[in-house]
């Protein structure tokens, strides 16, 4: 509470302490508010007061509205917010996604934005969720949701290069099977693991992601690859391309479990290995979202 009430002071003088708190997990009652502060979406909203309401009143482009409508029921269909067709959760999700197509008409709508927006709506009202989505699309994962997906393809190659350093065994196997990174990491990265990990793990990953940026997404991807394909024992049941892809689609619950996954991600950050060094140099090109 003190951090959030004196945010500028903490960010200026004790940012490391905030990072450690995010790694330990943000309290559920404060998570939505903390995500807004960490992402810079609170400032964005204050700089654009009334903009969301203005976009909300516009009709929108029919070609995007139809696609968005078809996707609404697919987002967390068993969650109480989204279980009812036409319920308040689906209505707010529609409003947020439609507003983004009007805010960035050159980008329009990408299906991977729907689960991102849905997770945000579970933690904050529609207007705040919209500006948080804007920050994710523009600051955290720029270019991920463009039509040609050039940014995600580039990050797929970066992930594969990092895998060579982190797990040569997994790297060699994927190379031998000619499995392009885009085949297994697209949903992971574009949805920020919201459709891959157990819910408790998603929240912990997002806490770190909002604080530290895209390098957290890389680290999670590398943990999953290393512990799925990183030894000869693990590869015994992955003799071909099909078997390997099936294994990557049905990851072991153990490696996705909150305590194990977060500890691995934190360890790689603290150990200063190739992942940390590479992603740190990568992060120098990204303006911290909270600035």
Residues 154 and 265 in one domain: yes
Instruction: Please report whether residue 223 resides in a domain.
Output: yes
Span of 78-82, 116-120, 190-194, 245-249 with lowest mean pLDDT:
78-82
pLDDT bracket for residue 234 (50, 70, 90):
confident
Place of tokens 């969650």: 79
- Residue 2 clears pLDDT 90, i.e. is over it: no
Residues 194 and 252 in one domain: yes
Residues 91 and 173 in one domain: no
Give the dihedral of Cα atoms 33, 39, 45, 47; nearest 10 deg.
Answer: 130
Alpha carbon 67 to its chain's center: 22
Secondary structure string (H, E, C) spanning 201-230 = HHHHHHHHHHHHCCHHHHHHHHHHHHHHHC
The CA angle 23-283-152, to the nearest 5 degrees, is 95
Centre a 10 Å sphere on the Cβ of residue 276 and count the other Cβ atoms it contains: 15
CB 266 within 8 A of CB 207: no
pLDDT bracket for residue 225 (50, 70, 90):
very high
- Residue at a domain's end among 77, 106, 140: 140
Look at residue 101 in the predicted model and tell me its pLDDT.
96
Instruction: Please report whether residue 77 resides in a domain.
Output: yes
Place of tokens 């969720």: 129
- Residue at a domain's end among 94, 121, 140: 140
Residues 118 and 59 in one domain: yes
**Greater pLDDT, 133 or 1:** 133
- Residue 57 clears pLDDT 60, i.e. is over it: yes
Residues 109 and 180 in one domain: no
Residues 275 and 154 in one domain: yes
- Residue 4 clears pLDDT 60, i.e. is over it: yes
Q: Is 287 left (phi over 0), alpha (psi -120 to 50) or beta?
A: beta
CA atoms within 13 A on the CB side of 104: 20
For 39, 118, 169, 180, the CA distances from 205, given in Å and listed in that order, are 14, 16, 26, 25
> Is the torsion defined by CA of 145, 217, 47, 32 positive or negative?
positive
pLDDT bracket for residue 259 (50, 70, 90):
very high
Look at residue 283 in the predicted model and tell me its pLDDT.
42
Judged on CB neighbours under 10 Å (0-12, 13-18, 19+), 274 is: middle
Q: What range defines the domain where residue 90 resides?
A: 33-140
Instruction: Please report whether residue 204 resides in a domain.
Output: yes
Residues 131 and 68 in one domain: yes
Residues 133 and 158 in one domain: no
Residues 196 and 262 in one domain: yes
Residues 127 and 163 in one domain: no
Residue 113's CATH number: 1.10.8.270
- Residue at a domain's end among 140, 164, 179: 140
Instruction: Please report whether residue 240 resides in a domain.
Output: yes
Q: For the residues 72-81, what does the mean pLDDT come to?
A: 88
Percent above pLDDT 70 for the chain: 92
- Residue 285 clears pLDDT 70, i.e. is over it: no
Residues 276 and 159 in one domain: yes
Look at residue 286 in the predicted model and tell me its pLDDT.
39
Instruction: Please report whether residue 20 resides in a domain.
Output: no
Count of structural domains, the chain:
2
Centre a 10 Å sphere on the Cβ of residue 178 and count the other Cβ atoms it contains: 8
Look at residue 14 in the predicted model and tell me its pLDDT.
87
- Residue 144 clears pLDDT 80, i.e. is over it: yes
pLDDT bracket for residue 29 (50, 70, 90):
very high
> Is the torsion defined by CA of 80, 82, 84, 87 positive or negative?
positive
Judged on CB neighbours under 10 Å (0-12, 13-18, 19+), 224 is: buried
Instruction: Please report whether residue 38 resides in a domain.
Output: yes
CB 19 within 8 A of CB 270: no
Instruction: Please report whether residue 120 resides in a domain.
Output: yes
Residue 267's CATH number: 1.10.472.80
CA distance 250 to 273: 28
Tokens of 156: 């797929």
Residues 37 and 112 in one domain: yes
Whether the model clears a pTM of 0.85, i.e. scores above it, the answer is yes
Instruction: Please report whether residue 3 resides in a domain.
Output: no
Look at residue 272 in the predicted model and tell me its pLDDT.
53
């Amino acid at each position: 509470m003190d951090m959030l009430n004196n945010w500028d002071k903490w960010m200026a003088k004790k940012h490391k302490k905030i990072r450690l708190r995010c790694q330990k997990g943000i309290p559920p009652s404060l998570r939505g508010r903390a995500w807004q502060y960490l992402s810079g979406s609170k400032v964005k909203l204050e700089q654009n007061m009334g903009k969301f309401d203005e976009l909300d009143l516009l009709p929108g482009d029919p070609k995007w509205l139809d696609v968005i409508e078809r996707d609404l029921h697919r987002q967390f269909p068993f969650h109480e917010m989204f279980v009812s067709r036409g319920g308040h959760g689906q209505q707010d999700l529609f409003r947020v996604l439609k507003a983004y197509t009007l805010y960035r008409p050159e980008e329009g709508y990408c299906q991977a934005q729907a689960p991102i927006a849905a997770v945000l709506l579970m933690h904050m009202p529609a207007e705040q969720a919209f500006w948080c989505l804007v920050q994710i699309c523009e600051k955290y994962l720029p270019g991920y949701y463009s039509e040609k997906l050039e940014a995600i393809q580039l990050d797929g190659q970066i992930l594969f290069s990092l895998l060579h350093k982190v797990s040569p065994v997994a790297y060699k196997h994927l190379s031998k099977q000619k499995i392009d990174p885009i085949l297994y990491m697209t949903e992971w990265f574009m949805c920020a693991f919201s459709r891959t990990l157990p819910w408790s793990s998603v929240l912990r990953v997002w806490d770190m992601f909002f604080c530290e940026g895209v390098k957290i997404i890389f680290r999670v991807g590398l943990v999953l690859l290393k512990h799925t394909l990183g030894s000869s024992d693990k590869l015994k049941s992955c003799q071909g391309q099909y078997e390997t892809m099936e294994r990557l689609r049905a990851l072991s619950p153990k490696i996705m479990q909150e305590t194990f996954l977060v500890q691995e991600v934190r360890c790689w950050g603290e150990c200063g290995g190739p992942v940390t060094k590479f992603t740190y140099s990568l992060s120098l090109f990204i303006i911290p979202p909270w600035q």
